[in-house]
């Protein structure tokens, strides 16, 4: 899997960081930063939950 984040769409809600703190962070403007584009194991599972919890649709998963 590969995580995609559209920083122009992100509204800075922070759900992704709460769901997967090893995979996502937020910059000083609260916009998402992807820490791991290709997470494995528990981080991958957390990342899927994060993508599902994003209210803006900024996050997506490309299956590789």
Tell me which residues touch ligand SF4 (CB under 6 A): 5, 10-16, 26, 32, 54-56, 58-59
In this structure, are residues 16 and 59 in contact, taking their beta carbons and an 8 Å threshold?
Answer: yes
Neighbours of 51 (CB within 10 A): 23
Closer CB to ligand SF4, 5 or 47, in the complex: 5
Q: Is 8 exposed, middle or buried (0-12, 13-18, 19+ CB in 10 A)?
A: exposed
- Least separation in angstroms between residue 37's CB and ligand SF4 is 14
- Least separation in angstroms between residue 42's CB and ligand SF4 is 19
- Least separation in angstroms between residue 22's CB and ligand SF4 is 14
């Amino acid at each position: 899997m590969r995580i995609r984040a559209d920083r122009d769409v992100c509204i800075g809600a922070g759900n992704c960081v709460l769901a997967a703190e090893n995979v996502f962070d937020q910059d000083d403007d609260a916009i998402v930063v992807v820490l791991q584009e290709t997470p494995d194991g528990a981080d991958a599972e957390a990342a899927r939950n994060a993508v599902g919890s994003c209210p803006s649709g900024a996050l997506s998963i490309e299956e590789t």
